[in-house]
Amino acid sequence: MTGLRVLLVNPPPFRRQEAYYDTPPYPRTGLAYLAGSLRTGGIDAQILDCKFERVGHDEAVRRIVQTGADIVGFTGFTNEVIQSASLAAAVKQALPTATTVIGGVHVSVLPERTLREFPGFDMAVVGEGEVTLVELVRAIGQGGDLHAIPGVALLDGHGNYRFGGDRERIADLAGLAEPAWELFPPAREYILHTQRGCPFQCPFCVNPNGRKVRAEPVERVLRQIAALEEKGCRSILFGDEVFTLDRERTLAICRGLVESGLHRKIRWWCVTHVNCIDYDLAKAMREAGCYRVGLGLESGDEERLKAIGKKTSVGKIKRVVSDLKRARLPFEGYFILGQPGETAETAESAIDFAIRINPDYPVFGIMVPYPGTEIGRMAAEGEGGYRLIARDWNDYNKQIGNALDFDGVDRRLLEKMQFQGYVRVFLRNLRLAGFLKFCWQYRSNGWTALGRIFGRRREGAS
């Protein structure tokens, strides 16, 4: 034991605008894996998931101080990093003896900038954190050289940026500690990550886990599902980038769920690529308890699909949609408005394609120039018809953000088209009941979108 107490924190949301993400029904999976590794390494670790537990900023500070933690680790995607930084700064003031650490995708892409931009963070864990964080905590406890730890970044006493170098990605996921789910309140829904990496090269995705895919053994996956079911879980999202990338592995998981009877106790869904699913696989998944699959379609235009490197085609998308409908497996179709060189006409064609294929759950996002992506580079350099207008990192949100302007189409018009896209897919396909259910489920997002659209109109008229 190091004798140090570690508290891992998922910060409160900036504003409660997107219910499923800002007040999720599931705990933060990454913190469960980190805490599991810390505990396996003999380190006292606890978790405060502010989003899952509905804890606000002031209450979070009080609870963190109450723990008397020696090290407080924060996580954050790009549109969460400001909230993490605000909480870290407050913790530093209220608990000055604590060391604050930031991890996650955003700081992994922009480590030095993040540390300079947010002085509430003492140091950063870059990349996968399970091994790095254990080594960091031990080094802090033993007075070791923090600068030499791979994956650790910090500013020294003179303000110089110091980085221990990239840490190799964990090759064998079978050796990872089990996630410490017991540190959260019980949930009925969980996210499981059973593999890391994606071989595709979409220009809007940073792909923090690399191109080489590393998968957990089927037996470990089934064991984790069974353990969650015993905790009262009734629904699982597989958070893998492309869950069905390995067809035989996917079928083995499906067989295991059926043979164990878990398919009658657990509902699950996943995200995959059009090239990685067909009728037989979809049928096996549905029979194993899968109730939905998400597909990144992005566009219904052949040239645009080629330009963004989706390695698919309109014809392939149509065939897969037909397979899914024949297998009676509902699907989400993800579309991005604001592709490079987007115009009102090309955006309209994407919505028209969505109407034709009629996804059970249509999702229209507006392009976000995330740091570390090709789109982010293009926006920074004014390419692709992009103008970067983000005021801060909170604007980096696909549904309600405001990071880009577009030369070929007015952003307010694109936001109106985004909102209308949902309406048109449901109503043009005579799905009134589904539309009403969708509106109720995402009512907070809808009110935010309407406020932005009509609020801007009033601003322009005044």
Q: How confident is the model at residue 459 (pLDDT cuts 50, 70, 90)?
A: very low
Closest to 78 measured CA to CA, from 362, 418, 370: 370
CB 121 within 8 A of CB 114: yes
Q: Residues 262, 299: contact at Cβ < 8 Å?
A: no
Please classify residue 333 by burial: count the beta carbons closer than 10 Å to its beta carbon, then call 0-12 exposed, 13-18 middle and 19+ buried. Answer: buried
pLDDT in tens, 209-236: 999 999 999 999 999 999 999 999 999 9
Distance in angstroms (rounded) separating the CA atoms of residues 337 and 8: 36
In a domain, 312, yes or no: yes
Whether residues 254 and 155 fall in one domain: no
Give the three-state DSSP class for 457.
helix
Q: Rounded to whole angstroms, how far apart are CA atoms 193 and 189?
A: 14
- pLDDT band, residue 126 (cuts 50/70/90): very high
DSSP secondary structure string, 289-321? TEEEEEEEEE-S-HHHHHHTT----HHHHHHHH
**In this predicted structure, what is the pLDDT of residue 308?**
87
413: nearest Cα among 346, 356, 462: 346
**In whole numbers, what is the pLDDT of the chain averaged over residues?**
93
Instruction: Verify that 22 and 152 share a domain, yes or no.
Output: yes
* Mean pLDDT within 402-422: 94
- Do 310 and 353 belong to one domain? no
182 located within any domain: no
Q: Which of 260, 294, 329 is the last residue in one of the domains?
A: 329
Whether 311 is covered by a domain: the verdict is yes
Asked whether 166 and 174 are in contact (CB, 8 A), the reply is no
Residues 248 and 370 in one domain: no
The pLDDT value recorded for residue 211 is 93
Q: Is the pLDDT of residue 449 over 80?
A: no
Give me the CATH number covering residue 279. 3.20.20.70
pLDDT average, residue stretch 157-180: 96
Residue 336 maps to a domain: no
Taking the whole predicted model, whether its pTM rises above 0.85 is answered as yes
Same domain, 151 and 9: yes
Beta bridge partners of 6: 45, 71
How confident is the model over 22-42, as a mean pLDDT? 96
Rg (CA), the chain: 22
Claim to verify: residue 292 and residue 358 sit in the same structural domain: no
Taking residues 444-455, report their average pLDDT: 60
Q: Tell me what pLDDT residue 454 has.
A: 61
Predicted confidence at residue 448, as pLDDT, reads 60
Residues 320, 427, single domain; the answer is no
Domain end (from 305, 329, 353): 329
**CB under 8 Å to 173, separation ≥6 — which residues?**
195, 196, 214, 215, 216, 220
pLDDT per position as a tens digit, 372-407 = 999 999 999 999 999 999 999 999 987 777 899 999
CATH number for position 40: 3.40.50.280
pLDDT reported for residue 452 = 60
314 within 8 A of 302, measured Cβ to Cβ: yes
Same domain, 10 and 159: yes
DSSP letter string, 41-52: TT-EEEEEEHHH
On whether both 324 and 428 belong to a single domain, the answer is: no
Same domain, 196 and 282: yes
Please tell me whether residues 319 and 350 are part of one structural domain: no
Residues 243-284 have pLDDT tens digits of 999 999 999 999 999 999 999 999 999 999 999 999 999 999
Number of domains in the chain: 3
Residue 2: per-residue pLDDT: 64
Is 168 a member of any domain?
Answer: no
Any domain includes 25:
yes
**Which domain range does residue 298 map to?**
188-329
The two beta strands, 361-366 and 404-406, are unpaired
* Residue 17 pLDDT grade (very low, low, confident, very high; cuts 50, 70, 90): low
Pairing of β 152-155 and β 123-125: antiparallel
CA distances from 173 to 36, 131, 216, 220, 392 (A): 13, 12, 5, 10, 35
pLDDT at 446: 59
* Interval 309-318 mean pLDDT: 92
The closest of 113, 118, 300, 109 to 206, measured between CA atoms, is 109
In a domain, residue 169? The reply is no
pLDDT over 70 at 327, yes or no: yes
pLDDT at 10 over 50: yes
232 — alpha (psi -120 to 50), left (phi > 0) or beta? left
Quote the pLDDT of residue 284: 98
**φ and ψ at 458, to 5 degrees?**
-65, -40
Contact criterion met (CB below 8 Å) for 199 and 236: no
Average pLDDT over residues 15-35: 89
Q: Is the residue at 174 inside a domain? A: no
**10 and 154 share a domain?**
yes
Residue-wise pLDDT tens digits, 48-100: 999 999 999 999 999 999 999 999 999 999 999 999 999 999 999 999 999 99
Residue 198, classified by CB atoms within 10 Å of its CB into exposed (0-12), middle (13-18) or buried (19+), is buried
Pairing status of strand 235-238 against strand 189-192: parallel
pLDDT digits (tens, 9 = 90+) for 128-152: 999 999 999 999 999 999 999 999 9
